[in-house]
Amino acid sequence: MVLTSQQQSDVKDKITDCLQDANFLATLAKYVADLVADKLANKFQELSDKTEMQSQRMDALEKENNSLTLRLSNMEQRSRSNRLRFFGVRDIENDELTAGIAQISTTKMKMRPADIRIDYFYRIAGASCQIEYCTLFIDG
C-alpha cells in the first residue's frame, strides 16, 4: 500500500505526538522493563536451581569422601595391627620358617594355634638375612 504525502505527514505527526507524550513513553518503558525483569528473573531462578543442585551434589560427594577416608584409615589401622616383626629368625626354607614362626607364637607369645594364620612373610630390604618380616593374622 502506497501512502500519499499527506498520509505520510499525518503518520509522522502521530508518531511524533506519541513519542512526545510522557504517558506513552512511561507505558513503553514499563513494558520493556517488565520484559527484561521477567527474563532476568527466569535466568536467576534457573541459575539458582542449578547452584542448589550442584551444592547438594557437592555435599553428597563430601560425605562420601569423608566416609571413604574413614574406611581407608580403618583399613590401614587394621592392616598394621595384624603385622608382627620378628628379629633373629634363622635363614631357613619357607615351610620350616612358617612352622618356626607358629611355634614362637604359641610358646613365647602364648597364642592358641587355632588363632594363628600366617598369610605371608618376606625379608626387609637392606636387612641382614637373619631378620624376617612376617604378617601374622590373629583371628582371636
On the question of pLDDT at 132 being above 50, the answer is no
The whole-number pLDDT of residue 90 equals 64
The whole-number pLDDT of residue 92 equals 66
Average pLDDT, the chain: 79
Burial class (CB in 10 A: 0-12, 13-18, 19+), 106: middle
DSSP single-letter state for residue 109: S
pTM over the 0.75 mark: no
Q: CB within 8 A of 133, min separation 6: which ones?
A: 83, 85, 86, 121, 122, 123, 124
pLDDT digits (tens, 9 = 90+) for 69-113: 999 988 877 666 666 777 766 666 666 777 877 888 888 878 887
On the question of pLDDT at 36 being above 80, the answer is yes
Give the H or E element holding residue 137: strand 132-138
